[in-house]
Amino acid sequence: MTPYPNPHEEYQRAFNRLLTSERVVIEHTFGKLTRRFLILKYGCRVKFTSIPKVIIACAVLHNIAKQLGDADFQEDEDEEEQDLRHIEDENVDAIRAQGQERREELAHFITNNNVGL
């Protein structure tokens, strides 16, 4: 999900603030998981239906390692930049429109329920 490019309404600004702060946490978590479990970085060679189980197992094992005091792998920003992949999809516009609709719904929910404010 992307932030509003030029937020004019308060609910849009509130959504952008919350999205930005939460996105950082999520990106760091994904980075730690992909450094610790290379299957997540280079691709799962399992049945498509088993991929969610692999991801959950990696998250559980990561949390166990964290509780046991195992050191996280150090971040290598250059390597992360090289691993960026571009999504090629003929339905990008349709996906983007759905995402923008969902963003609008979430922004209104955040504002109406004082989430993260």
Reading the block at residue 99, the tokens are 């995402």
pLDDT tens-digit map of 23-82: 888 888 888 888 888 888 888 788 888 889 999 999 888 888 888 877 665 444 444 444
Distance between CA atoms of residues 60 and 68, nearest Å: 12
Q: Is the pTM value of this prediction over 0.85?
A: no
Distance between CA atoms of residues 62 and 31, nearest Å: 12
pLDDT for 89 equals: 52
CA atoms within 13 A on the CB side of 79: 9
